[in-house]
Amino acid sequence: MSVVDIKIPSPGESITEVEIGNWLKSDGDYVQVDETICEIESDKATLPLIAENSGKLKIILNEGDIAGVGDVACTIDTSGTSTGNTKTSNLNAEKSNQDVNSLKKEKSIDLTLSSESSISRHETPYSDGHPSPAAKKMMSESGLSNLSGSGPGGRVTKNDIQQHLSNVSKSPGSSAVKEKHADSHVISGLRNIKRERMSRLRRKLAERLVSVKNETAMLTTFNEVDMSAVVELRSQNKDSFLKKHNVRLGYMSLFTKACTEALELFPAVNARIEGNEIVFHDYVDMGIAVSAPKGLMVPVVRNAESLSLAQIEVEIARLAQRARENILSIDEMEGGTFSITNGGVFGSMLSTPIINPPQSAILGMHNIVERPMAVDGKIEIRPVMFVALSYDHRVIDGQQSVSFLVKVKENLENPARMLLS
């Protein structure tokens, strides 16, 4: 018998403990080598726990447990085989077939009895004691039952219902009866609630968002961008771009390029506070907000200022795919100097994005909507996007923030000049 310990791997240099997330396999299951058996959650990401050998799984740490790097999360008995599972499956299948056959027999007996019962019931005419269709509808609307009928065989007729209602309306206390009847028709919907554990990543994100509001002097400035030139550029080149670079030409790469050029002119927007100092960067590590199954992720495109549109698109696509597959590393999410978030993909018209600390600013993109604009003294319908820049006023002055956003607007409204400069 050979038992292998599966230990908590190190998510990154600064992380010493993690939380056990969702076990994807049950205790006693047979697992395959390199199979993901559990999700472990750190403050910055959710990482997979991989089976290093094939065998029978023994879970040691349960969901929600806090563990240190190097702790044993589970063991794998490599002498175990999947034969037992196969036998169990066969037995279960055989038992299931027996249950199905038994159920079929029971249903057959029930149908026979039901049929015999139906025959015996129909020996008496159906109309005897049953209301007519019109009377049945009136009884349902009035909430009546068990009335004596004057029709053939005691059948309840429409006249019987009308006579009964007339007598009730004339009798004392009829209003109370009506009120009680009205209350009985109140329909209430379901009021179920559901509780689920917040992941460690979600809890950490919540803490950071609250700290940003409490510890920074965050303001937001807005502008609008005429997207006509960008939309036309993308429409004319998207097919050839895809054919040449095997990646789609999106708006995010153009916004990244517009921001990197503006950041060179306004370095304070690309800076951060560290103690009593302001740290400036001569490079742009661009954080791109991505909606992932486990929550918001912000992977970083390194040295975005030196990349071409194609290189930016390739890197964004790679990082976004890894985020959706929940396999982003800590290194891929650390060290951003500026971020972009695009609420427009969800239909947002305008928002105030929250700074991603320790960064000092973040740009918010929104949806593109055709709006009337004044162009050379005429009203024209143009595709317009509202953009928002949230910034830390401790680092960035109002003049710098507004001028930066105006420069981004100018770059996007004349993308040819931006790309050729």
Residue 103 lies in a domain: no
Is the pTM higher than 0.95? The answer reads no
Given a contact cutoff of 8 angstroms between Cβ atoms, the answer to whether 218 and 393 are in contact is yes
Residue 365 lies in a domain: yes
31/141 same-domain check: no
We report the CATH number of the domain holding residue 42 as 2.40.50.100
369/330 same-domain check: yes
395/299 same-domain check: yes
179/222 same-domain check: no
168/219 same-domain check: no
Tokens of 242: 């895809």
Residue 213 lies in a domain: yes
137/205 same-domain check: no
Identify the domain containing residue 171 by its residue range: 133-184
Residue in the structure block whose two tokens are 């940003």: 212
399/371 same-domain check: yes
Q: One digit per residue, pLDDT tens: the chain, 421 residues?
A: 689 999 998 877 677 888 898 899 999 999 999 999 998 888 777 788 999 999 999 999 998 899 998 999 999 999 876 655 444 444 554 555 555 455 445 544 444 434 444 434 444 555 555 676 666 777 777 777 667 777 666 777 777 777 777 776 666 555 554 555 555 556 667 888 988 888 777 787 788 888 888 899 999 999 999 999 999 999 999 999 999 999 999 999 999 999 999 999 999 999 999 999 999 999 999 999 998 877 788 999 999 999 999 999 999 999 999 988 888 888 898 899 999 999 999 999 999 999 999 999 999 999 999 999 999 999 999 999 999 999 999 999 999 999 999 999 999 999 988 887 6
Task: Name 288's bridge partners.
Answer: 340
The CA distance from 379 to 169, in Å, is 68
Given a contact cutoff of 8 angstroms between Cβ atoms, the answer to whether 413 and 402 are in contact is no
Residue 314 lies in a domain: yes
Q: Please identify every residue annotated as catalytic.
A: 393, 397
Residue 238 lies in a domain: yes
We report the CATH number of the domain holding residue 319 as 3.30.559.10
Count of helix runs (H) and strand runs (E) in the chain:
10, 19
Count of structural domains within the chain: 3
44/148 same-domain check: no
Q: Are strands 361-365 and 338-342 parallel, antiparallel or unpaired?
A: parallel
251/370 same-domain check: yes
293/355 same-domain check: yes
Task: Name 383's bridge partners.
Answer: 370
